[in-house]
Amino acid sequence: MNLIARLSERSWEPASDRLDLSHRPSAGAVGLAAYAAVMAVMFSLVMVAYVMRMGLHAAMGHADDWVAMPHPPLLWINSAVLVMSSVAWEVARRAAERGEASRAPLLGGALGLCFLGGQWLLWRHYQAAGYYLASNPANAFFYLLTALHGVHIAGGLVAAAWVLASRTLPHVRLCALYWHLLLLIWMAIAVLLLLT
Amino acid sequence: MATTLADDLRPLHHPHSWVTRYIWSQDHKVIAIQYSCTAIAIGLVALVLSALMRLQLGFPGAFPAITPDNYLQFVSMHGMIMVVYLLTALLLGGFGNYLIPLMIGARDMVFPFVNMLSYWFYLLSVIVLVAGFFVPGGPTGAGWTLYPPQAISEGTPGHQWGIVTMLVSLAIFVAAFTMGGLNYVTTVLQARTRGMTLMRMPLSVWGIFTASVMGLLAFPALFVAAIMMLFDHLAGTSFFMPTMQSAGAITSTQGGSPLLFQHLFWFFGHPEVYIVALPAFGIVSDLVSVHARRNIFGYRMMVWAIVIIGALSFLVWAHHMYVSGMNPYFGFFFATSTLIIAIPTAIKVYNWMLTLWRGNIHMRVPMLFAIAFIFTFIHGGLSGLFLGNVSVDVPLSDTFFVVAHFHMVMGVSPVLVIFGAIYHWYPKITGRMWNETLGKLHFWITFLGVYAIFLPMHYLGILGVPRRYYALGQADFIPPSVHLANQWISIAALAVFAAQSLFFFNMIWSLFRGPKADPNPWGAASLEWQTPQTPPAHGNWGPKLPIVYRWAYDYSVPGAERDFIPQTEPRA
C-alpha cells in the first residue's frame, strides 16, 4: 500500500478493518535510513555555510579573505582507499547474501582504518605546510568537515568490529550500506574542496 | 517467548538485578521516568532563576545580591533550560518513551540499548550544563540564542568558560536526542502490533513521531553551530567572528559572519518551537477526546495538520531575524510562510473545539488543563500574527511583547499540557490516584496566575519596554504604570511559583498514600489503558501482544454497551 493510501485511511469505518502485517524492512534498516537523513542534513548545512562564508567577505566590499587550500596527492590516495573499502564491503555483502564465508569484512575494516590514518597524515601534511586551523576560513572549514567525517568513519569502525564478531547477514548489509553512505558524503566533500 | 517487535523473533532483553532493572535499565518505562525526573529537576532550577529575575524586575534595587551580570546569566540559563532541557526532554524523552510502545502495542523500543545510552548522554549534558554555574565567571549571559560575537567576547558574563560548558552541553544533548529520536521514529514505523495501522494510532503518537522526525532534521543545525562557535572561541577560527576591536587593538579574528550563526541557530530554533508544540497538540487531542467522551473531530485532518505544520516549520526560520537585516523580498517570503502555518494550526484549534461541542464534558483535572491549553495557545497564536508581519514586528522586536508572546505559545501552553498529561497518565504509571482537590487548586492558581503574569506583559511591550534589561532607569516613554505592572507581575509569578509545591506534594504523597487506581479510570479506548497489569510490567503485554481492531476514538458509539470501546475489542 502506498503512503498516500495509508494516510488517507478512514480508520473509523468498519471497512478499514485490516489485520495483515504488511512486509516491513528490518528495524536496523529503518534506523539507518533515519540516521542517513541526519547525516545528510548535518553535512549539507556545513557545506552551505562553507559556500556562504566563501564569498562573504568580498561581497561586503572587503578584500577577499578566502585562500583555497592546495590539493596534495594524499587527498586522492585517501579517496581511493575509501572507495576500495566501500568495494570490499560490497563484496562482503554479496558473499553474505549467498551465505558464503568471506574475509572481505576484515579487508573493508582495515581499509577504513587506513583511510583514517591517511586523513591524519593529510592533516599533518597541511600543518607542516603552514595551513593552520585558524589562519584562514578555508582551512577551518576543511578541518571541520574532515573531522566530522572522520568521527563518522570511527563510528563505522566500531560497527565493523561488531560485524566481524557476529557476521550475521543483516549486520553485514547495514554496515556495507553505512560505508557507502560515508563514501558518498566524502565524495561530496572532496568535490567541494576540489572546486573551490 | 516474548519479543520486542511484532514481526521479530529476537527475545526481549530481561533485567536480572536491581541495577539493570532501575539504573542501567533498558525498559522504556524506566527510561521514561528517568528522563522525566531529570528534566523536571533541571526545570526547577530554571523556575528558580525566573523567580530571581522577577524579584529584580518587580523590585529593582531591593536585592543587591542580584547583579546585572547575574541577571543576564539567569535570563540565558532560564531560556535554554526551559526550551531544550525541560520541554524537549520531557515531551520526547519522557512522554515519547513511555507512551509510544504502550500506545502502538509494542513490548519496548526497537533499540533498547541505544535508548538507555540516550538517557545517560542526556544526564551527562545536564551535568555539564549545571557545571556552568560553578566555573570561573559563571554561566553564559549571552541570551538563550547565544549570538556571536557577543557570546564569546569580553564584556559578556561567562564569555570565557560559561559559554564553553553551554556549547559542549548542547552538543552532547544533540547526540542524546539523536539516539532517542532514531528510536522513536523506528519504533513507530516498525513495532506497531497487528492491526495498528498508521491511521489507527492515537494523535499523541502522531505528535511525538512528527516532532521526533523534525528533531532529527533540526538538531544537526544546532550541533554544527555549537561546534563552529567552539572552534571560534577555543581555536581562534573566524566562522562567525568578524573583525573586532578590543581595548583599542584589532582582534585576531576577521571576516566571520554573525548572521551565519543566526541562520544556523534559527534553522534549529524555529522547528524547535514545533518540536515542543506538536507532542503537546497530540496529547491535548487525546485528553480532550477522552474527557469529553467524543471521538476527536476530523481525525485525518488532525494528522495531516500535524505533518504539514512540521514540514512548514522548516521554511519560516528567518522571521526571528527581521531586525538582523535582510533583503525585503526575503522578509516578504518568510512573513508569508509564517502566516500560512496559521491555517493548519487553526484547523487543529477548531477541531478541538468541535470535539468539545455537545460532548459529555467531565471537568476533571486533566481536562481543565487541556481546555486551559486551548485558551493560552489561541492567545499566544494571535499575538504571533503581529510578530510574523515584518512591519509590525520591527517596533515590537526586543520588547516585552515578544516575551509575552513566546511564553504564552511555547512556554505556558506546553507546560499546561504536560501537567494535564501527568495527571491523566499518573494512575497508569504509578497505579495510584492523586488528590482531586489539590489538583484543582493547583490548576486554578496556575491558570489564572499565568494570565496575571503574561497578559500585562503585552501592554508593557506595546509601550516599548525592552526585554533583557536589568533595570529600566529613567526614561520618558516609561510611565509609572509600568513599574506598578512589573510589581504585579512579580507577585503573580511568585504565587504561581509557590503553587507548584501543591503539584509536587500531591504527586509524591499520592505515590505512597494515594488510593489504588482503577486500570482504566477515565474509560479510555487507546491501548495503553488495556495492559494486563497496572503499572505495566516489563514487556508490557504479558505472553501475547494485543491485536487492534479499531481506531483509538470509539467513544459514545450508539448502541454500544459502554461509552467507549477499547481498540482491542473485535468488531461484532
Average pLDDT of the segment spanning B512-536: 94
Query: Cell numbers of B334, please?
Result: 518568510
Question: CA-to-CA distance for B358 and B151, rounded, in angstroms?
Answer: 53
Report the domain count for chain B: 1
Does B300 fall in a domain? Answer: yes
pTM: 0.95
Average pLDDT of the segment spanning B165-175: 97
Question: CA-to-CA distance for B151 and B229, rounded, in angstroms?
Answer: 9
Query: Cell numbers of A4, please?
Result: 498516500
Is A20 a residue whose pLDDT tops 60? no
Nearest to B486 by CA among B498, B478, B475: B478
Average pLDDT of the segment spanning B401-406: 97
More confident position, B179 or A19: B179
Average pLDDT of the segment spanning B422-449: 97
Residues 6+ apart with CB under 8 A from B6: A21, B105, B106, B191, B192, B193, B194, B545
Q: Let me know if B320 is exposed, middle or buried by CB neighbors in 10 A (0-12, 13-18, 19+).
A: buried
Is B6 a residue whose pLDDT tops 60? no
Secondary structure (DSSP) of B56-82: HHHSTTS-TTS-HHHHHHHHHHHHHII
Does B250 fall in a domain? Answer: no
pLDDT tens by residue, B444-455: 999 999 999 999
> Where residue A19 falls among pLDDT bands split at 50, 70, 90?
low
The dihedral formed by the CA atoms of B254, B331, A51 and A39, expressed in degrees to the nearest 10: 110
Q: Is residue B317 less than 8 Å (CB to CB) from chain A? A: no
Q: What is the ipTM of this complex?
A: 0.94
Question: CA-to-CA distance for B212 and B232, rounded, in angstroms?
Answer: 30
Lowest mean pLDDT among A54-58, A153-157, B71-75, B338-342: A54-58
pLDDT computed for residue B9 by the predictor: 43
Q: Is residue B303 less than 8 Å (CB to CB) from chain A? A: yes
pLDDT tens by residue, B185-216: 999 998 999 889 999 999 999 999 999 999 99
pLDDT computed for residue B12 by the predictor: 66
Lowest mean pLDDT among A23-37, B449-463, B524-538: A23-37
Is A24 a residue whose pLDDT tops 50? yes
Three-state SS for B201? coil
Inter-CA distances, B135 with A17, A119, B159, B228, B312, Å = 60, 35, 11, 22, 40
Peptide bond connecting B149 to the previous residue in cis, omega within 30 degrees of 0: yes
pLDDT tens by residue, B445-491: 999 999 999 999 999 999 999 999 998 877 888 888 999 999 999 99
Is B79 a residue whose pLDDT tops 90? yes
Lowest mean pLDDT among B1-10, B88-97, B114-123, B475-484: B1-10
Exposure b/e, B426-452, CB count within 10 A at least 16 = b: bbbbbbbbbbeebbebbbebbbebbbb
pLDDT computed for residue B410 by the predictor: 93
Left if phi > 0, otherwise alpha if psi is -120 to 50, otherwise beta: which for B473? left
Decide: B276 and B373 in contact? Cβ < 8 Å.
no
Question: CA-to-CA distance for B192 and B109, rounded, in angstroms?
Answer: 11
> Where residue B1 falls among pLDDT bands split at 50, 70, 90?
very low
In A, minimum Cα distance to B571 occurs at A14
Q: Look at domain A26-195 and name its CATH class.
A: mainly alpha
Is B148 a residue whose pLDDT tops 60? yes
Nearest to A172 by CA among A100, A84, A77: A100
More confident position, B26 or B247: B26
More confident position, A165 or B458: B458
Nearest-Cα distance to chain A for B203, in Å, is 13
Is B3 a residue whose pLDDT tops 60? no
pLDDT tens by residue, A83-112: 999 999 999 999 999 988 888 999 999 999
Q: Is residue B369 less than 8 Å (CB to CB) from chain A? A: no
**Segments making up each domain of chain A, as ranges:** 26-195
Backbone φ and ψ of B432, nearest 5°: -125, 165
Does B546 fall in a domain? Answer: no
Query: Cell numbers of B497, please?
Result: 511559583
Residues of A within 8 A of B250 (CB-CB) are none
What percent of chain B is modeled with pLDDT above 90? 85
Question: CA-to-CA distance for A92 and A103, rounded, in angstroms?
Answer: 7
Does B267 fall in a domain? Answer: yes
In B, minimum Cα distance to A32 occurs at B182
User: Which domain, by its residues, includes B69?
Assistant: 21-238+256-530
Q: CB-side exposure of A141: number of CA atoms within 13 Å?
A: 27
Exposure b/e, B486-519, CB count within 10 A at least 16 = b: beebbbbbbebeebbebbeebbeebeeebeebeb
pLDDT computed for residue A95 by the predictor: 92
Q: Is residue B304 less than 8 Å (CB to CB) from chain A? A: yes
The dihedral formed by the CA atoms of B238, B243, B244 and B248, expressed in degrees to the nearest 10: 130
Residues of A within 8 A of B549 (CB-CB) are 17, 19
Does B535 fall in a domain? Answer: no
Is A49 a residue whose pLDDT tops 80? yes
Question: CA-to-CA distance for B223 and B106, rounded, in angstroms?
Answer: 31
pLDDT computed for residue A168 by the predictor: 84
Is A61 a residue whose pLDDT tops 80? no
Is A135 a residue whose pLDDT tops 90? no
Does B543 fall in a domain? Answer: no
Query: Cell numbers of A96, please?
Result: 553474505
Mutate to test the interface with A, among B179, B239, B294, B297 (most CBs of A within 10 A): B239
Whichever domain contains B137, its CATH number is: 1.20.210.10
pLDDT tens by residue, B8-56: 445 566 777 888 888 889 999 999 999 999 999 999 999 999 999 999 9
Does B13 fall in a domain? Answer: no
Three-state SS for B521? coil
Does B558 fall in a domain? Answer: no
**Bridge pairing between strands B249-250 and B245-246:** antiparallel
Q: Is residue B391 less than 8 Å (CB to CB) from chain A? A: no
